[in-house]
Chains A and B, each alone.
Chain A
Amino acid sequence: MKILIVDDEKLIAQGVAYVIRQFGEDYGPVDVAFCGREALEKMAAVRYDLVVTDVSMPGISGLDLVEEAKGRGLCDDFCILSGYSEFEYARTALRLGVEDYLLKPVDKAKLKKCWTLLAKSSRAAAWFCSGAGRARRRTVSLAAMSQKSRGSLAARCQSS
């Protein structure tokens, strides 16, 4: 799986990439981008399986990045990693169809779970024809989001 981490705070982007590489060889390669524009450039050059992005960044915000990248067909699967837990952000993220909305400090187990769900669906996509694989992949993602919207995501959407 090819992964891109987007955060204007370089230490966080590099650190999250480092943490993911520590998960093992299956989790990578992992690239980093430090703003929305750089992320779009990288996505235009490389087809990533998953993009993890911060929300609040100068220039193109993380949510705008998701919308534009999806609109241009650059990547299907996104995960938000944010310091903000406001409901509005989470609701917009849900509307844009992101896979997960993780809060800083990022819980490694949750990060890994997000990968595992996608990795499993990627393997399924390799076994079946692309249409069926894609349908299954979307089902897995929506099941994950549906569970979160019922429980943990709602609980995490606290006004800080």
Chain B
Amino acid sequence: MAYQVLQAQIDPHFIYNALESIRMMAEMHNDPEVANVIFSFSKLMRYSFSVNTAPATIEYELDIVSQYLQVQKIRLGDQLEYQISCPEPLLNEGCPQFVLQPLVENAIKYGRSQDHPGVFVKIDLSMEDGLLTAVVENNGAELDSEKLREINGRLERGQDLSNLSSGTGVGLDSINSRMRYLYPESFKMELKPLPGQGLKVILIWRPAAESKGE
């Protein structure tokens, strides 16, 4: 454990500088595609390493989601299509870090199968009566109704999902716990099947009144 702690203290700025050098090499070799994907990847690394003490915004989280999708797009090509929609006035609303990006990661991971390797991921944000709704959906994942009911019940009660076999537990648990802490009065999280095939994860919270910051 002590060894791991010491190892974790190795300054990640070396990584940013190394990636920036490689990116600039690509720029000077007139290879914008490689330069752009290294830029996206480097931003993701910074995001992953950061312990953000300032409350983040929808704009910041969507920027990271966008960088993440661009890196995934390089890997998956035509097998990944996505759409992000968010009205501009919502960009400054509060959104803790690591809330939307893990859902997008799940949507890709569980939206693809051997028979259907392609996935469409849709991220949609809206606001009504002071309540912000974030929806992340895919067109591939399927969960039987019994399991869905169990997951939604546990999310509502704030219970962990770790002993469910869906494999999605840790990410959803973390989001649910942090958001319930930050927005205890208003936060709700629910998984819903889509007609035909697909799954949507819905997050609802009132960003202005309750935020405790991070």
Interface residues of A (CB under 8 A from B): 9, 11-12, 14-16, 18-19, 22, 56, 83-85, 103-107, 154-155, 157-160
Contacts and interface: CB of A to CB of B under 8 A. Distances in A.
Interface of B: 11-14, 16-17, 19-21, 23-25, 27-28, 38-39, 42-43, 46, 49-54, 56-57, 60
A159 B53 CA distance: 8
Contacts of A16: 24
B53 A83 contact: no
Contact of B42 (A14, A105, A157): A105
Given A15-B27, A18-B27, A160-B50, A155 B13 contact: no
Nearest to A155: B54
For chain B, what secondary structure do more than half of its interface residues adopt (helix, strand, loop), or is it mixed?
A: helix
A14 B20 CA distance: 11
A155 B56 CA distance: 7
A126 B43 CA distance: 38
A11 B46 contact: no
Given A15-B28, A18-B27, A19-B27, A105 B51 contact: no
Given A15-B27, A18-B24, A18-B28, A160 B17 contact: no
Contacts of B50: 85, 158-160
Contacts of B23: 15, 105
B64 to A, nearest CB: 12
5 contacts: A11-B24, A18-B24, A104-B16, A159-B53, A160-B11
Contact of B21 (A12, A85, A103, A157): A12
Nearest to B16: A83
Contacts of A104: 16-17, 19-20, 42
Contact of A105 (B12, B19, B52, B53): B19
Contacts of B43: 105
Contacts of A56: 13
B54 A106 contact: no
B21 A11 contact: yes
Given A18-B24, A155-B57, 17 more contacts: A9-B17, A9-B21, A12-B20, A19-B24, A56-B13, A83-B20, A105-B20, A105-B23, A105-B39, A105-B43, A155-B54, A155-B56, A158-B51, A158-B52, A160-B13, A160-B46, A160-B49
A103 B21 CA distance: 14
Contacts of A158: 50-54
B56 A105 contact: no
A11 B22 CA distance: 8
Contacts of A105: 16, 19-20, 23, 38-39, 42-43, 46
